[in-house]
Amino acid sequence: DSGVTQTPKHLITATGQRVTLRCSPRSGDLSVYWYQQSLDQGLQFLIQYYNGEERAKGNILERFSAQQFPDLHSELNLSSLELGDSALYFCASSVVSSGTDTQYFGPGTRLTVL
Amino acid sequence: AQTVTQSQPEMSVQEAETVTLSCTYDTSESDYYLFWYKQPPSRQMILVIRQEAYKQQNATENRFSVNFQKAAKSFSLKISDSQLGDAAMYFCAYRSAIMGMDSNYQLIWGAGTKLIIKP
């Protein structure tokens, strides 16, 4: 158990809908990263937050947004969902935002868009 | 931009034997970190081992060790005494270590190698 929690574990929804994925980092970790793992694109970095502020953006669609709250949990919002958004979404956390620390991953949320 | 390549989509090994998974990467940076993560059927992403580019000594974690060749930009994972529980997807990942406000510490991933353990 990495100490990172993600809810829900599974999510099934329809095209055009909006969903929110939640992540609680390990105790003491200030940085949260979101990654998408899909069959055709592999693992891709979406976005990073550090202590409540956006730090870096990767291949995140405009339909997707995220935030990190004062208690350091983070939410990833996916809207106007398309079939291609079906994927496993991982959250990872680390102590600080630097190259020296390791990212620990949550169990992921499997999103299925029908 | 940095890239990570895992050229072996699938590898198989007999239980108790040794297997080596390959990974190459491309970067113009001199300071970085390399990781091997394991993803078993449960889909949990588990850190196996980490290597700092400035360290010449290869990292070791119990039965797992790496062969880090910085000049060749190669980072292979050796699993000794393979066990059934080692069956998983293995991902090689790169992360910059450049410090700075605009630094991006995202992990850049290879496509993965599926490791099959034969009993």
Residues of chain B with pLDDT under 50: none
Cα separation, A87 vs A84, in Å, equals 8
| pLDDT score of A16 more than 70 | yes
Smallest CA-to-CA distance from A44 within B96, B106, B91, B97 is with: B106
Chain B positions in Cβ-Cβ contact with residue A100 (cut-off 8 Å): 33, 97
pLDDT tens readout for residues A39-91: 777 889 999 999 999 988 888 999 999 999 999 999 999 999 999 999 999 99
B111 touches A at CB < 8 Å: yes
Q: Taking the CA atoms of chain A, what radius of gyration do you get in angstroms?
A: 13
Burial of B118 (0-12, 13-18, 19+ CB in 10 A): exposed
Chain B positions in Cβ-Cβ contact with residue A2 (cut-off 8 Å): 44, 46
CB contact under 8 A, B96 and A99: yes
pLDDT category, A17, cuts 50, 70, 90? Answer: very high
What's the confidence (pLDDT) of residue B64? 97
pLDDT tens readout for residues B82-115: 999 999 999 999 988 776 655 567 889 999 999 9
Match 């360290």 to its residue by tokens. B55
Smallest CA-to-CA distance from B81 within B64, B66, B60 is with: B64
The set of residues, in sequence order, having a beta carbon less than 8 Å from that of B102 and lying 6+ positions away, is: none
Distance from CA of B111 to the nearest CA of A (A): 6
